[in-house]
Amino acid sequence: MATANAATMVPPGNRNSVQPDIPGASSRRTQATNTSFQAKYRKVYALLQNDAELRAKIRKVAAAYDIDPMHIVGAIVGEHTYNVDAYDRLQTYYVKAMSYLSSKLTFAYEGEDVSDFVERPQFQKCAGITDSYDLWECREQVWNHSFRGKTVGGTSFPNDRFGATFFQPYYAGQTFGLGQLNPLTALQMSDLVHKVSGLPELDVNDPNTVYNTIMDPDLTLPYVAATIRKSIDAYNSIAGFDISHNPGLTATLYNVGNPEQRAYALEEENEKRRAAGEA
C-alpha cells in the first residue's frame, strides 16, 4: 500500500497544460444570474480584502485544524466564483442565519423523513457506527447501492445524490453560507468539529439548527476547515499523497466532495500503473 511509505508531497500550483473546461452547470448558473466568473471573483475577493475580522477568524480556525489558512480562502473563493455570489458584507450572512431559525425545515423525500428512512433494513450495516463522518458515509453508500435510481417498496427514488434528495428543502443541489456547505456535509463533520472546536453536535432531527450553523460565519468556518482536513487526511492515508501544500487541489475537492472515494480511485489507478511498470 502507498501508506507504507512516506506520502508523496504535491507542491502548490496547477500543472495542467491547459485550463480544464468549466462545468456546464456552473456556466449556466452564472449566465442565469446575469454576471460573470470575473465579477463573482472580484466580489468575494473584496469581501475578504475589506474584512480584517473575517481574515482573523479564518487564521484562527485554520490553526485549530492544523491547515494553512489559504485552504479555507481557496474553498471560499472557489465556491463563490463558480457556485453563487458572495454577499457584500459578512453581516448579511448573520442576518440570513437568523432567518433559518424561524423557518420550518425538514430533511425528507416524498414525505418520508430521513431519520425514518435510515431505519430501513438496508441500513442495518451502519447501525453500529458512532462516528458522524463514518455513519453518514455508510448511509450514503447504502443509498447509492440500494436506492439511487431504483424503485423500492413502491417508492421511486431519483438517480441523484443522497444529499440532493433528502437534504435540500428548497431545491436540489443548493448549498449555503460563506462556505457553501450542504447539510449532509455538515452532519458528517459534526463529531470532528465538536471535538476540535467544542461546538454542539448537530442532530438530523433539528434541520433549523443545521441550517443556522451553515449560515452563521462563526459556526460554519470550523466546518469548512474540518472538511478540508478530512480531504487532506484521506489523500495521505489512502492514496499516499500529501496535498496539504496545494490549496487549489483542496478547493477542488471541497467543491466536488467525496474525497475518500476519489482517494481510493486514485490509489487503484496508481496500483495498476505500478503493476504495469509505469510508476
Phi, psi dihedrals of residue 255, rounded to the nearest 5°: -75, -45
Q: In what helix (H) or strand (E) does residue 112 lie, and over which residues does it extend?
A: strand 112-113
Q: Which grid coordinates belong to 35?
A: 454576471
Q: What is the per-residue pLDDT across 215-245, written as a single tens digit (0 to 9) for each? A: 888 999 999 999 999 999 999 999 999 999 9
Question: Of 217, 213, 214, 251, nearest to 231 (Cα)?
Answer: 251
Q: What is the mean pLDDT of residues 72-89?
A: 76
Q: State the pLDDT at residue 93.
A: 66
Give the position of cell 479555507: 72
Task: Count CB atoms within 10 A of the CB of residue 128.
Answer: 8
Which of the two residues, 142 and 92, has the higher pLDDT score? Answer: 142
Q: List Cβ<8 Å contacts ≥24 apart for 251-257.
A: 251/71, 251/74, 251/75, 251/77, 251/78, 252/78, 253/228, 254/74, 254/75, 254/78, 254/79, 254/224, 254/227, 254/228, 255/75, 255/78, 255/79, 255/82, 255/83, 257/185
Task: Give the DSSP letter of residue 145.
Answer: I
Q: State the pLDDT at residue 4.
A: 44
Q: What is the per-residue pLDDT across 129-188, written as a single tens digit (0 to 9) for each? A: 999 999 999 999 999 999 999 999 999 999 999 998 998 766 545 677 888 888 999 999
Q: What is the per-residue pLDDT across 193-203, written as a single tens digit (0 to 9) for each? A: 999 999 999 99
Q: Please tell me the distance from the alpha carbon of residue 239 to that of residue 236, in angstroms, as a whole number.
A: 6
Handedness of CA 18, 20, 24, 27 (dihedral sign): negative
pTM score of the predicted model: 0.85
Amino acid at 176: F
Q: State the pLDDT at residue 24.
A: 58
Report how far Cα 112 is from the mean position of its chain's Cα atoms.
24
Give the position of cell 448579511: 92
pLDDT class for 89, splitting at 50, 70, 90?
Answer: low
Q: State the pLDDT at residue 157.
A: 97
Cβ neighbors of 240 (< 8 A, separation 6 or more) are: 1, 2, 3, 5, 7, 8, 267, 270
What is the bridge-based pairing of β-strands 241-242 and 8-9?
parallel
